[in-house]
Amino acid sequence: MAMNRALFAKQLEPGLNALFGLEYKQYPNQWSAVFEKNTSDKAFEEDLLMEGFGEAPIKAEGAPIAYETASEMWTARYNHDTYALAFSLTEEAEEDGLYGSLSRKYVKALARSMVHSKEIVGANVLNNGFDNAFTGGDGKELLATDHPTGSGDQSNELSTAADLSETSLEQILINISNQLDDRGIPSAAMGTKLVIPPELVFIAERVLKSTLRTNTAENDINAIKSIGYLPQGTHVMQRLTDTDAWFVCTDINDGLKMFQRAPMKRGMEGDFETGNVRYKCRERYSFGWTDWRGIYGSPGA
C-alpha cells in the first residue's frame, strides 16, 4: 500500500519545528573487521578442504620409501540470499509536504535499513556459533569442542565456558597456538583480534591495556600486552545478542567469509494511472565460515 497524506498529516501544516527519527548516525561498518570479503558471480560458492600429508617417518637404509595418500574432504557452501525492501508514496503526499521531499527522506531510511540488515546477518554467524542447529562443512557448529579431523577431534571453544578475563583470554591464546591441521601438523595460528558485544568493552579495555595484571594484588606485568598478542586490539559488534559471549579471530586463511553477489541497488518507478512512486533497495550476499580455525570463542560462564 502506498504511504498517503493521512500518514503525514502534520507535515501538511505549518508550525513544526523539527522532523526527527530517520537520520540517526550509524556505526561504521562492523562486519568487515571480522569477515574476509569476496565477490561472486555464481548462485553459490563452495570451498573445498584438501587434506595434506602427515609426519614423515624414518627411512631405513636400503628400504623403500614410504608413500602417503591425500584426498578431498568436506566442502563449505555459501548460498547467496537476496535482501530487499521497498516503499510506495502517493503523488499528493510528495506534492503537499511542507518540510522537504518525503521520498528523499525515506530513500535514506531505506538505505539505513539495508545496512542494518547486513550487520545482523553477519553478526548472526557468531550469535548462532554455539548452536548445533547451524552447522558448517564438517557437520559441526562454528564453535565446538569436537570438530572431526584426520588427527582426531579438535576444539575452537573453551572446554569449560568462561567469562572474559585475563586468565580465560590467555588460555584461548594458548589453545590457538596449539591448533593442528587435519594431519596433526601445527597450524602456527595466532590470535589477532578480540571480538565482543558492547557490554564487555570496559572489561576488555582493562584486560588488554593495563600495564599490570588485572584483578590481582601481584605486581606482575600484563603478559598479553607485553608480548604483543592480539595486535589488532578489540572490535565491538553492536548486533551480538549474547552479552557475555566473546571471540578471538585468528590469522588462519579462509576462516569467516562474506561473498557479495550483487551490491546494493536502488530502483524507482512511477505508476502512470495513480501517480504513486515506488522505491526499492536490493542486495545479494552470504556470510559463513570455511575453516573453523579462523575463530575461537566462549559463550561466557
The pLDDT tens digits along the chain (301 residues) read: 776 656 555 555 454 334 444 556 778 899 999 999 999 999 999 999 888 888 899 999 999 999 988 888 899 999 999 999 998 888 888 777 644 577 778 888 888 899 999 999 999 999 999 999 999 999 999 999 999 998 899 999 999 999 999 999 999 999 999 999 999 999 999 999 999 999 999 999 999 988 877 766 676 888 898 888 999 999 999 999 999 999 999 999 999 999 999 999 988 898 888 888 899 999 999 999 999 999 999 999 9
For residue 207, the SS3 value is: helix
Please give the Cα distance from 264 to 150 (Å, whole number).
Answer: 41
Q: How far is CA 40 from the centre of its chain?
A: 18
Residue listed under C-alpha cell 596449539: 178
Residue 257 · residue 288 · CB < 8 Å: yes
Q: Are strands 234-236 and 191-196 parallel, antiparallel or unpaired?
A: parallel
Q: Give the residue carrying C-alpha cell 549474547.
A: 242
The count of residues in the chain is: 301
Query: What local confidence, expressed as pLDDT, does residue 173 receive?
Result: 97
With a CB cutoff of 8 Å and minimum separation 6, the contacts of 34 are 122, 126, 193, 195, 235, 237, 249, 256
Q: In what order do the strands lie in the sheet with 256-270?
A: 36-39, 256-270, 277-289, 81-89
The structural domains of the chain, with segments of one domain joined by +, span 30-50+75-298
What whole-number distance in Å separates Cα of residue 233 and Cα of residue 239?
Answer: 19
Contacts of 107 (CB under 8 A, 6+ apart): 266, 279
Q: How many CA atoms lie within 13 A of 260 on its CB side?
A: 14
Nearest to 4 by CA among 104, 131, 77, 95: 95
Q: What is the CATH number of domain 30-50+75-298?
A: 3.90.1690
